[in-house]
């Protein structure tokens, strides 16, 4: 039997429903799958056994313990990540797995650094992209620059472009390495060298540069001629997505140029610090 055409308003309502369902599915995906870490190792981490070790000793232990199920999460927008990559290559070049999250809105300088790193270290960079359908649905409903409208929408964008790809990157990992340091921002003051990462399924998180100052990081870069993002020389101590990153002013903390329009306590993307899915993120 012939079905009469639906009015335009009904078609638009149906499209909105489809978009909302797609976004809801993205926001409510299952959490990071848990991994089984030996109880003895967990006890050592909780006891702070590794907190007095130097960075190279922490990295060497982590690679010996977890390889090949360990990788560096590199944004190619932080000096710390490049220092750790260089250390890993010196310690265990065959175990130096590196992954990155390409949000689709990065600076050209970031892509150029990736190619320089590939050439220098002769390594494969595992690149993860957001799901195209999720990006299309989000942009269709909220616009290309939704992140300027509210903290919740900015976190939704980070969730689609960064957090979901991170889940795929971690599927075969028991541990991961990051360049976090306490002095980077107020949201990172309690970071430790070796942590149990409950946010990401109980994996072990390695932050070998805890205890390093900014000057020490740059001293390593200069001593070993480590490749870094060209934007660092233009006032960008940390580089993320192009619309969400600016150069900082004298006296500002290192991450003041990230999501600068927000309150300082909410300036995380959900990769390292958990935020409320529907809340303020503070």
| Residue bearing tokens 């220098």 | 120
Q: How high is the pLDDT of residue 264?
A: 66
* Secondary structure class of 177 (helix, strand, coil): strand
Report d(CA 35, CA 246) in Å as an integer.
Answer: 37
Single pTM value for the model = 0.80
Q: How high is the pLDDT of residue 262?
A: 84
Report d(CA 240, CA 257) in Å as an integer.
Answer: 9
Instruction: Using CB atoms within 10 Å of the CB of residue 171, give its burial: 0 to 12 exposed, 13 to 18 middle, 19+ buried.
Output: exposed
Over the stretch 217-256, which tens digit does the pLDDT of each residue have? 999 999 999 999 999 999 999 999 999 999 998 888 887 8
Q: Measured between alpha carbons, how far is residue 243 from residues 36, 104, 159, 164 in Å?
A: 39, 11, 16, 20
* Secondary structure class of 246 (helix, strand, coil): coil
Task: Answer yes or no: is pLDDT of 186 > 80.
Answer: no
Task: Answer yes or no: is pLDDT of 204 > 50.
Answer: yes
Over the stretch 146-172, which tens digit does the pLDDT of each residue have? 999 998 999 999 999 999 999 999 999
Q: 158, 241, 244, 269: which is the annotated catalytic residue?
A: 269
Confidence of residue 265 (pLDDT cuts 50, 70, 90): low
Whole-number mean pLDDT of the chain?
84
Q: Is 158 a catalytic residue?
A: no
């Amino acid at each position: 039997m012939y079905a009469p055409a639906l009015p335009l308003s009904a078609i638009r309502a149906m499209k909105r429903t489809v978009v909302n369902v797609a976004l809801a599915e993205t926001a409510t995906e299952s959490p990071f799958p848990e991994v089984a870490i030996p109880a003895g190792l967990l006890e050592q981490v909780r006891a702070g056994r590794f907190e007095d070790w130097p960075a190279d000793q922490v990295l060497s232990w982590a690679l010996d313990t977890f390889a090949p199920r360990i990788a560096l999460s590199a944004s190619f927008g932080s000096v710390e990540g490049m220092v750790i990559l260089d250390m890993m290559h010196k310690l265990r070049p065959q175990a130096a797995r590196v992954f990155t999250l390409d949000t689709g809105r990065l600076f050209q300088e970031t892509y150029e650094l990736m190619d320089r790193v590939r050439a220098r270290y002769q390594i494969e960079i595992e690149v993860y992209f957001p799901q195209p359908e999720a990006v299309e649905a989000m942009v269709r409903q909220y616009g290309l620059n939704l992140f300027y409208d509210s903290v919740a929408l900015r976190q939704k964008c980070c969730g689609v472009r960064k957090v979901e790809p991170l889940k795929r990157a971690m599927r075969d990992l028991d541990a991961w390495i990051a360049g976090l340091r306490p002095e980077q921002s107020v949201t990172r003051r309690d970071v430790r060298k070796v942590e149990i990462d409950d946010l990401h399924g109980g994996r072990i998180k390695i932050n070998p540069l805890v205890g390093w100052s900014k000057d020490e990081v740059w001293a390593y870069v200069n001593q070993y001629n480590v490749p870094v993002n060209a934007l660092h020389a233009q006032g960008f101590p940390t580089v993320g997505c192009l619309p969400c990153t600016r150069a900082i002013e004298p006296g500002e903390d290192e991450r003041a140029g990230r999501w600068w329009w927000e309150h300082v306590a909410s300036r995380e993307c959900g990769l390292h610090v958990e935020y409320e899915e529907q809340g303020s993120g503070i």
